[in-house]
Amino acid sequence: MEAKLKAILADAQTEAPNVTDRASFEAFKARFVGPRGSLTEAMKGMGAVPKEDKPAVGRLINEAKTGLTALFDEIHSKVEAAELADRLGPAIDPTLPTVDAPSGVLHPIAQVREELVEVFRRIGFNVAEGTEVETEFYCFDALNMPGDHPARDMQDSYYLPAQAEFLNVSKKADERYLLRTHTSTVQVRTMLENKPPIRIVAPGRCFRRDTPDATHSANFHQIEGLYVAESVTLCDLKATLDHFVKAVFGPKARTRLRPSFFPFTEPSFEMDFFSPDLGKLSNRWLEIMGCGLVDPAVFEACGIDPERYSGFAFGMGIERIAMILQGVDDIRYYYQNDLRFLRQFIG
């Protein structure tokens, strides 16, 4: 009996690799445990086994049964996997582009950002980047706005919890994290890392506490500009911005500087422009940026010798310019992601 049972199991094991589909699997099972299967027959022989041998033979039969069941399970999962693979067809590469996907376009704000940055790129400015989460040092202190400076109130800020260490922005122990209120942070980052001459523009997202309305959004974009070299004057600032305004708003556009105040520039100005080329889009002077000559205190905070170098800086809101160029009268349209709005800027 023992030899018989061993032979049954050995038979099943040799035959198993040939069983690859459901039909042969069913036939295979029947050969052993079907009504006339070899194990079934062996079990029928139990009657003839002497009483004292029954427990031992019973155990052998059980072992054979367990061995067979394990084999059946194994084959069954192989057959199922083969069937599934059959249904799914050949392996596909999901990273391949489809032939019929419509190609996207840049968001209208990004379109204007690229256009503005391109004007500066052509006259030798590089693009620099900062981070949206900043420390007070980059956003305020290094820009000549110490903790008690009233100008900090002009840029009501979003502060982050003190335990935001995971953000991996280096800071002093008593400094706070915040979302940058302007891209002027990139002036500081650039000057700390590079020696003059420096010519950069820095486009990016900024955040200020604001009640949203047609012209205000708590989340907006700016482009910062910084030029540092020996003997940079207001003439250079004016010429650069004149060129920029003509390139963007038309060759007949004019600019004017009005005295203003920023802690990080001295003197400081608001720049307005007027362009007859805009036709119906605008028939009056419009204010589009703050600018000025870099304050010596900022050079000192950034390790640049103010006796040797001078420079100019400017900062403008992208949305404001986009609204003028695109004839959009409510800033909120840019953030609602309504396709009826966005589709107007395709092509």
Q: Residue 130 carries which side chain, given as an amino acid letter?
A: G
Q: How many angstroms separate the CA atoms of 43 and 62, rounded?
A: 10
Q: Round to the nearest angstrom and report the end-to-end CA distance of the chain.
A: 85
Q: How many angstroms separate the CA atoms of 132 and 148, rounded?
A: 23
112 binds ligand PHE (CB under 6 A): no
Q: How many angstroms separate the CA atoms of 226 and 205, rounded?
A: 17
Q: Please name the residues in contact with 61: beta carbons below 8 A apart, sequence gap of 6 or more.
A: 5, 39, 42, 43, 46
Stretch that binds ligand PHE, among 46-54, 92-100, 129-137, 288-296 (CB under 6 A): 288-296
Contact 305, 284 (CB under 8 A): no
Name which of 123, 70, 264, 121 is nearest 184 in CA terms. 264
Residue whose CB is less far from ligand PHE, 71 or 191? 191
| Tally of residues, the chain | 347
Name which of 243, 283, 269, 279 is nearest 116 in CA terms. 243
178 binds ligand PHE (CB under 6 A): no
State which of residues 130, 196, 290, 311 lies at the interface with ligand PHE (CB under 6 A): 290
244 binds ligand PHE (CB under 6 A): no
Q: How far is the CB of 290 from ligand PHE (least distance, A)?
A: 3
184 binds ligand PHE (CB under 6 A): yes
Q: Residue 42 carries which side chain, given as an amino acid letter?
A: A
203 binds ligand PHE (CB under 6 A): no
Side-chain half-sphere CA neighbours of 268 within 13 A? 12
State which of residues 313, 318, 321, 323 lies at the interface with ligand PHE (CB under 6 A): 313
Residue whose CB is less far from ligand PHE, 12 or 206? 206
221 binds ligand PHE (CB under 6 A): no
**Nearest to ligand PHE by Cβ — which residue?**
315
State which of residues 203, 292, 302, 322 lies at the interface with ligand PHE (CB under 6 A): 292
262 binds ligand PHE (CB under 6 A): yes
196 binds ligand PHE (CB under 6 A): no
320 binds ligand PHE (CB under 6 A): no
Tokens 């709005």, located at residue? 341
Q: Write out the residues near ligand PHE by the rule CB under 6 A.
A: 182, 184, 224, 262, 265, 290-292, 313-315
